[in-house]
Structure 1
Amino acid sequence: MTGPFNGEAGVRGHRHLDLELIDDASALTDADPGGMLRATASAGAQVRESAALAAEANLEAIADEGRPRAVVVAGVGTAGRTGDILATVAGARCPVPVLSHRSAGIPGWVGVGDVVLAVSASGRSPEALAAAEAAARRGARLVAIGAPDSDLELLADRARAPFIPVPRRAPARASLWALTVPVLLAARTLGLVKVNEADLAETAARLDLDADRCRPSLESFVNPAKSLALDLGNSVPIIWGSSSLATVAARRFADTLSSNARYPAVAGSLGEANRGRVGLLDGVYGGLAEAARDIFADPDEGAADPTRLRLVLLRDGGLSDESDDQGEPLALEERRADAVQALAERRGVRVSVVTAEGGSPLERLASLVAVPDFASIYLGLAHGLDPMAVPAVSEMKELSNR
């Protein structure tokens, strides 16, 4: 990962952040009373635990009727991201459509030939519960994934459908890997995705390694998550992925920036950037602001630095099922990434790069998610925010349930 946090210039550029806190392990622990850092560091353990729990479920029952016509992954928030992960890990060669469904119920065309995966970290999501009820009523095969002893488990029991219990972690965004692994293993049972035990073990090991690299006791100059958090300070992040896998990670990063750091972010694929969004680089937060800046002004006097764009490129150069044998589609995206980075730098828009590592698509995805997950937490803590408690989310639930 690269980023321009160097000495005094970096400190002045992030004057609104508590720079002393971000490199004080004890202060970070005090500022994180709910243990969001600790919960995020459990990602590798989540992979192992959920794989074991899925192995105990009777998933073979859903394969008895053969390959489905389509798979619908029903859930919202983090649960909804599991459908995106399944679709991109399965790749373009997946023999059936995979749909992420984020509203109540299920599409009208779903019936006896289809499979519905209802996912909810709490087991109480209205969207997942409605999807499970509709799937059972229409005769679709159902797999439910969520907290044990929940409404979702009761529904699955009544429908005689497999249920994979996922130990409850609050908030749900700390359970991405606990929810994702059962979804992948259910799809593997149906013959739709190639994820073996070695892939899961390597993914868990990658998440463990990144958790160690991003631990609170490591200072920012050797901690990639703290460095990325400092890069993003007082900016409007634009997060683009160079492949479908990296785009899922980009959208996950925007999710965690919103919740953990309360930062707005633009996220998507380089293909979307190429179709017009790259114009942001010339806008009032990009090149236009840079052109108006007085390079002779004393940064220690006057108003704070203006809010600027920060481009974050998530780069995935590995071959996957989305490419042909020569990797040409991914090679095109990598050329686009080079071009976008050059355009940004010409306009004075600073760039941070996170590069995928690992062999399997799942491990590469993990390498693109782990550091940004921690970065969003450090960014929130440095602004004096508790990443575990998001009052607006709680209030929204109260207002919508009246």
Structure 2
Amino acid sequence: MLTGAPEIDDVAALLDADVEGLLPASAMAGAQCRAMAAARDEGVLAPLEQLRPRAVVVVCGDGTCGRAVDLVLALAGPHIDVPLIKCAAVPPWIGPLDVVVVAGDDAGDPRLADAAARAGRRRAEVVVAGPVEGPLNDALVGPVVDLSPRVHVPAAYRFSHYVAALFAVLDGLRAVRFEGRHPDLSAMADELDSEAAGNHPGHELFHNAAKELAVRISDRRTVWTGDTAAGMVVAVHASRAIFAGAGVVSTATDLGEVVAAGALSAGYGGSMPADYDPIFHDAEIDGPIPREPVRVQVLTTPDREWLVRRLTASLTDVDVRTSGPAEQSTAEPQPRGSGMEDLVPLMILALRADMAGAYLRLVGSH
């Protein structure tokens, strides 16, 4: 595991260890968004333009795709005049008035193939956001809207693809009212590319947000959280993606629970004593084994950083993470709920977590 900054800043060693191409793959979030913008510009979504569907139903499994759907529902659900529904299978009421999005990385998953077949037979408008191949391809009935991945990366790094694909679908429903502006996928791609460039392995730890995050969560008990429903989705994604990619165990839970458990999570005796030696420690004489306090990672947006820092002031060890510079103003910002303006900042944090997981995987392989 990670033992210090010099190891993660050894560019040659990192590149030699990256035989699977994890770092380039994890940095392709912007390219995946741009690919969905290109699909929209090519007219792939034309069959949706005149529809006023009864519901948009997304059939997906768990994992990266499921978390991407949760983020879209949290951000767009309150702003669009059509129900957005996430399901593990096609509901029995699906019919010609509905749009069914089949999303998932396993084209051999019988649930996805069944969903595509049943939705097609019932004359619903079918959109396929996962790979169109194998049993899923064989199950398609009639024409479909093809939003399958155009940028080939491991399934673990397709979070941005599914987010962009779902927002492209919502943008394609031109006859459905949407409060505010639809996200600009091309502009979001530029922002994600800028973040990925800043996290290039050639950039040192103190100028590389992904490396810094990797160091902060390595060999520490870590809890991820967010101050909004959308932020919590990204916190869950970060926790699970880093475990799947690097085997680093952490958890994600509600911010209120994190603050309430602050005293319990501080460990015994605060920070680890410098003279602690586990070989000579006697629990009956010396007391409980000292532990480092839990390190909390709070994911938020720059305009809510002021409030989050005050909510978490009682915690022993907390990092408040945003996609921009630290807030310098001491004036209290106007509170607001989570909105579409949170999409890009949260997508940047998701990309940062993916790249941090790749760095941890490579450092651990030395």
Aligned to 2:35: 49
Aligned to 2:285: none
Shift of 1:204: 1.0
In structure 1, distance between residues paired with 2:119 and 2:5:
51
**Do the aligned partners of residues 263 and 140 (structure 1) sit closer, same or farther apart at CA in structure 2, a change above 3 Å counting?**
same
* CA displacement 1:363-397 (0-9 Å, x = unmatched): 22222212222112212222228xxxxxxxxxxxx
Aligned to 1:343: 314
Count of matched residue positions in the alignment of Structure 1 and Structure 2: 339
Aligned to 1:106: 90
Shift of 1:203: 0.9
CA RMSD across the alignment: 2.9
| Residue 352 of structure 1 pairs with residue 323 of structure 2 | no
2:100 aligned counterpart, secondary structure? strand
Which of 273, 293, 298 is the matching residue for 2:275?
Answer: 298
**Do the aligned partners of residues 195 and 176 (structure 1) sit closer, same or farther apart at CA in structure 2, a change above 3 Å counting?**
farther
Shift of 1:225: 1.0
* CA displacement 1:115-167 (0-9 Å, x = unmatched): 210012353333322221222233332111222444434433x3322222313
**Do the aligned partners of residues 90 and 231 (structure 1) sit closer, same or farther apart at CA in structure 2, a change above 3 Å counting?**
same
* Equivalent residues of 1:122, 1:150 under 8 A apart: no
1:353 aligned counterpart, secondary structure? strand
Q: Counterparts in 2 of 1:300-379, with a 5 A limit? A: 302=278, 306=291, 308-318=293-303, 335=307, 337-345=308-316, 350-357=317-324, 360-379=341-360
Aligned to 1:182: 165
1:165 aligned counterpart, secondary structure? coil
Q: Extract unaligned runs of 5+ from structure 1.
A: 1-14, 319-330, 386-402
Q: Counterparts in 2 of 1:29-48, with a 5 A limit? A: 29-48=15-34
Shift of 1:19: 4.3
Aligned to 1:262: 247
In structure 1, distance between residues paired with 2:193 and 2:207:
17
In structure 2, distance between residues paired with 1:215 and 1:127:
38
Aligned-partner residue type, residue 143 of structure 1: V
Q: Extract unaligned runs of 5+ from structure 2.
A: 280-288, 326-339
Aligned to 2:200: 215
In structure 1, distance between residues paired with 2:357 and 2:219:
13
Aligned-partner residue type, residue 139 of structure 2: L
Aligned to 2:226: 241
In structure 2, distance between residues paired with 1:55 and 1:128:
27
**Do the aligned partners of residues 264 and 239 (structure 1) sit closer, same or farther apart at CA in structure 2, a change above 3 Å counting?**
same
| Residue 116 of structure 1 pairs with residue 100 of structure 2 | yes
In structure 2, distance between residues paired with 1:288 and 1:24:
33
In structure 2, distance between residues paired with 1:262 and 1:192:
43
Aligned-partner residue type, residue 382 of structure 1: V
In structure 2, distance between residues paired with 1:208 and 1:361:
17
**Do the aligned partners of residues 172 and 237 (structure 1) sit closer, same or farther apart at CA in structure 2, a change above 3 Å counting?**
same
Which of 228, 252, 255 is the matching residue for 1:273?
Answer: 255
TM-score of the two chains, using structure 2 as the length reference: 0.81
Aligned to 1:392: none
* Equivalent residues of 2:269, 2:290 under 8 A apart: no
Report percent identity of matched pairs.
27
In structure 1, distance between residues paired with 2:324 and 2:138:
40
Aligned-partner residue type, residue 26 of structure 1: A
**Do the aligned partners of residues 58 and 221 (structure 1) sit closer, same or farther apart at CA in structure 2, a change above 3 Å counting?**
closer
* Equivalent residues of 1:188, 1:195 under 8 A apart: no
Aligned to 1:17: 3
* Equivalent residues of 1:256, 1:373 under 8 A apart: yes
In structure 2, distance between residues paired with 1:109 and 1:42:
38
Shift of 1:26: 1.4
**Do the aligned partners of residues 250 and 294 (structure 1) sit closer, same or farther apart at CA in structure 2, a change above 3 Å counting?**
closer
Shift of 1:255: 2.1
Aligned to 1:323: none
In structure 2, distance between residues paired with 1:209 and 1:371:
11
Shift of 1:314: 0.7
Shift of 1:170: 4.5
* Equivalent residues of 1:238, 1:267 under 8 A apart: yes
Q: Counterparts in 2 of 1:137-152, with a 5 A limit? A: 137-152=121-136
Which of 251, 254, 257 is the matching residue for 2:236?
Answer: 251
Aligned to 2:53: 68
Aligned to 2:266: 287
* Equivalent residues of 1:75, 1:119 under 8 A apart: yes
2:211 aligned counterpart, secondary structure? helix
Shift of 1:206: 1.0
In structure 2, distance between residues paired with 1:150 and 1:361:
36
2:126 aligned counterpart, secondary structure? strand
**Do the aligned partners of residues 71 and 196 (structure 1) sit closer, same or farther apart at CA in structure 2, a change above 3 Å counting?**
closer
Shift of 1:16: 5.3
Which of 187, 200, 218 is the matching residue for 1:202?
Answer: 187
